Amino acid sequence: MNTVEKALMHGLFVHLHHNIDQAIDFGQLEELNKKVSKMWPGALLVGPHDNDDAAVFKFPEMEGLFVAKMESHCSPGVPRPYDAAATGAGGAMRDVVAMGARPLFLLDFIGTRPLEQEVLVGPCGFKGVCDCGECEAMTSADRLNLIIQGVKDMCETMDVFIVGGGLSTSFSDIVPAIVVAVVGKLVTEKPLTKPAKKPGHRLIVIGETGKDGNDTLYRAGLVDEMRPARALFAEERRVMDATIAAFKTGKIKACSDLGAAGIGAAVSESARFGGLGAEVDLTNVPVQSNDITPEEILICETQGRMLLHVEPEDVDEILKIIRGKGVAAEVIGEITAGDKEVFKYEGTIIAKIPNKPTPEMIEELKK
């Protein structure tokens, strides 16, 4: 494994963000849901054990399907509370969109230190002492207002209601709790589940990739500075509208939100969950700047992006619809019949990600 392969594979196979089942017994939840389904048959279509972008369900005796997702952006709230809250809300909305739904309602929970206590906001926030000259000392109440403003601004941009939530000021940790839950209604005929469906489907990325959201690269020692993802309000709205317009053709076969570990994780998980492989040319990915590296294109978590799977003959129609909404979109690769995901840049292989790492690989990843 080279360094970028190790960074991506750690995220895919070890880090709990992508491997919640290592900490939570989903079998218990599945048994519970099966039991409840006897009273409400057919109410739950996609649950936690399905490991998809969001849950899909229906209300008994009501038409239509609904989608729900809960997401936290706690650690980024130390250096950037406003952006953390906004990107948490935007990320949960994209997960709802990824299932084929339009986000409608949001609830949020914020946990912070007592309002009168001082907190340090900025790059040195985790240390508690600023030596960079860029941090700001403020009260917990001031930081709380920034968090609320971030959620509110994203919801205003996306025309999503804030319908409730919760607040606790009894937290003692440096990291505040920033948690949102989003509910939307399905606009596609059936849920757009994450697994790739068949070889030959083309992969279309929507939106531009930047150098922010480089947490995975930072942990791997591939960059010197952690740059949490910045909120992209107008871009989020355009990408949502463009994605939903593409959905309405009925020609999208699968969809993923480009969240943690970016393109690398979205492609690898979709292919692996479908029992397939993928080949991706990172050279084709729309980018925000020319000084971005192939590794950043592969893994950065820039907001306002989605990944679609379409039949080859439908590519031109889908690209025309998305670009007609003023959003960048390109074909970056395709699903294969293999058992690995291969990412190239200008003809050079940047990373090969196996669907089933050997036990020896997993042990190395844990070091």
pLDDT digits (tens, 9 = 90+) for 245-300: 999 999 999 999 998 899 999 999 999 999 999 999 999 999 999 999 999 999 99
Average pLDDT, the chain: 95
What is the Cβ-side half-sphere exposure of residue 7, based on CA atoms within 13 angstroms? 24
Tell me what pLDDT residue 138 has: 97
Whether 15 shows a pLDDT value over 90: the answer reads: no
Q: What is the percentage of the chain residues whose pLDDT exceeds 90?
A: 85
Instruction: Give the percent of the chain with pLDDT over 70.
Output: 100
Tell me the mean pLDDT in the region 347-356. 97
Residue 17's pLDDT is 79
> Are the CB atoms for 260 and 20 separated by under 8 Å?
no
Query: What is the Cα–Cα distance from 54 to 191, expressed in whole angstroms?
Result: 10
Q: In this model, does residue 89 exceed pLDDT 90?
A: yes
pLDDT digits (tens, 9 = 90+) for 183-192: 999 999 999 9
Query: What CA–CA distance (Å, rounded) separates 266 from 299?
Result: 10
pLDDT for 70 equals 96
- 3-class DSSP state for residue 332? strand
- Domains of the chain in start order, with CATH, are 53-186 (3.30.1330.10), 202-365 (3.90.650.10)
Average pLDDT over residues 349-353: 97
pLDDT at residue 61, rounded to an integer: 87
| pTM (2 d.p.) | 0.94
What pLDDT, on the 0 to 100 scale, is given for residue 20? 87
The predicted pLDDT at position 139 comes to 97
DSSP line for 129-194: S--SS--EEEEHHHHHHHHHHHHHHHHHHHT-EEEEEEEE----SSSPEEEEEEEEEE-SSS---S
For residue 222, the model assigns a pLDDT of: 82
C-alpha angle 34-38-40 in degrees, rounded to nearest 5:
100
238 pLDDT more than 90: yes
- Judged against a pLDDT cut of 80, whether residue 210 lies above it is answered with yes
Mean pLDDT over 333-344 rounds to 98
347 near 332, Cβ under 8 Å? Answer: no
Above 90 in pLDDT, residue 225?
no
How much is the average pLDDT of 171-180? 95
pLDDT of residue 226 exceeding 80: no
Q: What is the pLDDT of residue 220?
A: 79
pLDDT of residue 227: 83
**Paired tokens of 271:** 């292919």
Poorest-pLDDT segment among 21-25, 138-142, 179-183, 209-213: 21-25
- As a whole number, mean pLDDT of residues 187-203 equals 96
Q: State the angle between helix axes of 3-13 and 262-273 in degrees (0 to 180), rounded to the nearest 10.
A: 60
CA distances from 343 to 241, 302, 312 (A): 28, 18, 20
**64-81 confidence digits (pLDDT tens):** 999 999 999 998 899 999
Contacts of 87 (CB under 8 A, 6+ apart): 73, 76, 154, 228, 229, 230, 231, 303
Where does residue 109 rank: exposed (0-12), middle (13-18), buried (19+ CB within 10 A)?
A: middle
Report the C-alpha gap between 363 and 323 in whole angstroms: 44
Lowest mean pLDDT among 9-13, 202-206, 311-315: 9-13
pLDDT at 217: 85
Query: Which one is predicted more confidently, 227 or 164?
Result: 164
Residue 111 has pLDDT above 90, yes or no: yes
